[in-house]
Amino acid sequence: MYYIGICDDEPIFLENLTEMTKNILAETGIEAHIRTFRGTGELEEYLRTPDTSMDLLLLDILMEGQNGYEFARRLREEGNQLPLVFVTNVIDYAPGGYKVEALDYLLKPVSRRELKEVLLRAYRRYQHQTVVLRSPSHSVSFRVDEVLYLDIHNKELAIHIADGSILHISVPLNSLISKLPPQQFIRCYRSHIVSLPAITSIWRYGIELKNHETIPLSRSYYHAVQNALLNWASSL
């Protein structure tokens, strides 16, 4: 699940941007949850709540009280690297966006084409995130875009990396699924999850990967994998 926050103190702009974002994500097959905020006060309260999730923030700059740029600067000073995109009708703030490492800068009224480009670029960046897994004995970390597939045997999870290395850790396979981008990974067998970009071909009982390795494909998962692979290819 991809979590997006949208903050704007003008209700009409907030509603329009939210609806446009929902439509773009729906048509591109990205499963997302969108939360809206009518000012930085609401946003700050949410971000300070334990166990909150946000992968991208669309942030207006000119708002009553603390403006968006000031809020973003405070986030960075506190070490928060939340990816953000500024949305405003004043171009003068653009240089400030670079100082707080904003991903992009959209001018109101926001065009659908520009918003789609920004959302897809931010999502691709999100897919390249690093995942950290911890067990009582040790921890492992890996980049999502470097994974070919994962399998589990005797309660030990094996993470197969593109460079040929294999990471091992004792965690349940289901505990990892929520950490992986749902548009990039899919279960192909009871004990296997595969990365769609790593697939070169599939047939009824198997999957060939770009490293020429073959992994099993359950008949019950065949159509789901086939459809997911087609959706992935069409989104490129």
Domain end marker among 97, 127, 157: 127
Q: pLDDT tens digits for 172-195?
A: 877 787 778 878 899 999 999 999
Are 119 and 71 within one domain? yes
Domain end marker among 75, 106, 127: 127
Q: Which residues have C-beta within 8 Å of that of residue 198, sequence separation ≥ 6?
A: 147, 148, 149, 162, 209, 210, 211
Are 92 and 63 within one domain? yes
State how far the Cα of 80 lies from the Cα of 91, in Å rounded to an integer: 25
Are 86 and 185 within one domain? no
State how far the Cα of 154 lies from the Cα of 43, in Å rounded to an integer: 44
Average pLDDT over residues 39-43: 91
User: Which pLDDT score is estimated for 112?
Assistant: 95
Highest mean pLDDT range out of 20-24, 49-53, 72-76, 171-175? 20-24
User: Which pLDDT score is estimated for 93?
Assistant: 55
Contacts by 92-95, CB closer than 8 A, 24 or more apart: 93/61, 93/69
Are 85 and 168 within one domain? no
User: Which pLDDT score is estimated for 235?
Assistant: 66
State how far the Cα of 1 lies from the Cα of 181, in Å rounded to an integer: 7
CATH code of the domain in which 231 resides: 2.40.50.1020
Are 20 and 109 within one domain? yes
Are 157 and 74 within one domain? no
Are 144 and 110 within one domain? no
**How many domains are contained in the chain?**
2
Q: In Å, what is the CA distance from 216 to each residue of 75, 89, 122, 189? A: 45, 53, 33, 6
Cβ-contact 188, 221 below 8 angstroms: yes
Q: Which residues form the domain of 228? A: 131-235
CATH code of the domain in which 118 resides: 3.40.50.2300
pLDDT higher than threshold 70 for residue 95: no
Q: pLDDT tens digits for 96-110?
A: 544 678 888 899 999
For residue 132, what pLDDT band results from cuts at 50, 70 and 90? confident
Average pLDDT over residues 200-229: 94
- The residue with tokens 């070919």 is 148
Average pLDDT, the chain: 87
Are 145 and 76 within one domain? no
Are 160 and 189 within one domain? yes
Are 84 and 111 within one domain? yes
Are 41 and 10 within one domain? yes
User: Which pLDDT score is estimated for 51?
Assistant: 61
Are 159 and 51 within one domain? no
Domain end marker among 71, 100, 127: 127
